[in-house]
Amino acid sequence: MRVPQENDDAQNGAGKTQVQKKLHLEIDGANKVQKNLHMDQTPASTLSLSRILKAFLLATSLGLLLSQCMSVAPAPAPASETASRSSYSEGGKPASSPTNDVLAKRPGLGTQLGHEIDDRSTNTHFYRKSGSQPDAVATFHYNDQEGAKLMAEMMGKAVKRGGEFVLIPGKLEVSVNSGWGYGSAYEHYHAGGKVFVIGDAGSRYGLDLKNLTDRRLEVVVSIDGLDILDGQPASTRKRGYVVPAKSSVSIRGMKVGGKLRTLEFGTVAKSRAATAFGERGARNVGVIGMACYEEDESARRRDRVAETYLRDDARAFGN
């Protein structure tokens, strides 16, 4: 019969059609692969140039970033760290600095403070006659033997003496003593109306003030430009020691922070003036000054009389 043959032919035709479609698909796939291959086939020189350009841009960016990082200043150290680094070396000793070197090279004596001692002074009221303007101000210098002699000779003929000396004629006599009131007075040079005391390095010293008048005096004392009662820069307006009429007082130390510390002849670099106020403070090393105030007797008597009446009205029991 012919029907089966037609079916076979139909089936064969359908098979051919499917094969053709498959071939077309494969051809299309091949074409796409070829296109992809064409697209991927970029010249080697183009790839190399692209990579070089990318590397250059990357290097440039890194260079800019590094330059910005290097231009940023480092954060400042905390104040405590900065102070410790500038003031001390790694060994814990004062670091070398131009100021320290200059002070260390200065010859002669300065006044440094020693250990703490008992303060036996008491407070009292003094009636200044002239307010904050002292009635007299006088100074004298001190140094080692060589320095004191040289300073005296520069003023004229130097005369060496021992014991006390009159600092303010008719008012105040002074002596610079070793020890604690029982020591001998340091020698001194007189020249050109000035006094130059000869100190001894490493030794303690004190000041004895003698009132030559028949009234109380208040004496403001400075050593190396520092007030004897607080260790700060001196001023004639500050308070001083009250010296009874025809009597004396002994000064054995300088008060700093409320504590009394001994006076010692030492180096300029280790003086209180240098250690507390640096090179500027050390410019006043070697001089001792005294400002003398007379008392207003009328004002003092008025207060005494008022106090007498107040005490006379005092009651032993009850108010």
pLDDT band at 87 (very low <50, low <70, confident <90, very high): very low
pLDDT band at 112 (very low <50, low <70, confident <90, very high): very high
User: pLDDT for 254-308, tens place per residue?
Assistant: 999 999 999 999 999 999 999 999 999 999 999 999 999 999 999 999 999 999 9
**Token code pair at residue 293:** 């105030």
H-type alpha helices, 197-296: 272-282
CA separation for the pair 282, 272 (Å, rounded): 8
CA separation for the pair 96, 116 (Å, rounded): 29
User: What is the signed CA dihedral for 206, 115, 273, 167, rounded to 10 degrees?
Assistant: -10
Q: What is the pLDDT, as a whole number, of residue 38?
A: 44
User: pLDDT for 190-211, tens place per residue?
Assistant: 999 999 999 999 999 999 999 9
Is the confidence at residue 74, as pLDDT, over 70? no
CA separation for the pair 157, 152 (Å, rounded): 7
CA separation for the pair 20, 113 (Å, rounded): 117
In 3-state terms the chain splits into helix, strand, coil percentages (rounded to 5) of 40, 30, 35
E strand intervals along the chain: 110-117, 136-143, 159-161, 165-168, 172-177, 188-191, 194-198, 204-211, 217-223, 226-227, 241-243, 248-251, 253-256, 259-266, 287-294
Report, as an integer, the average pLDDT of 66-95: 38
CA separation for the pair 306, 302 (Å, rounded): 6
Is the confidence at residue 116, as pLDDT, over 60? yes
Burial zone of 91 (CB within 10 Å; 0-12 exposed, 13-18 middle, 19+ buried): exposed
Q: Tokens 């500050």 sit at which residue?
A: 238
Q: What is the pLDDT, as a whole number, of residue 101?
A: 84
Backbone angles phi, psi at 298, to 5 degrees: -65, -45
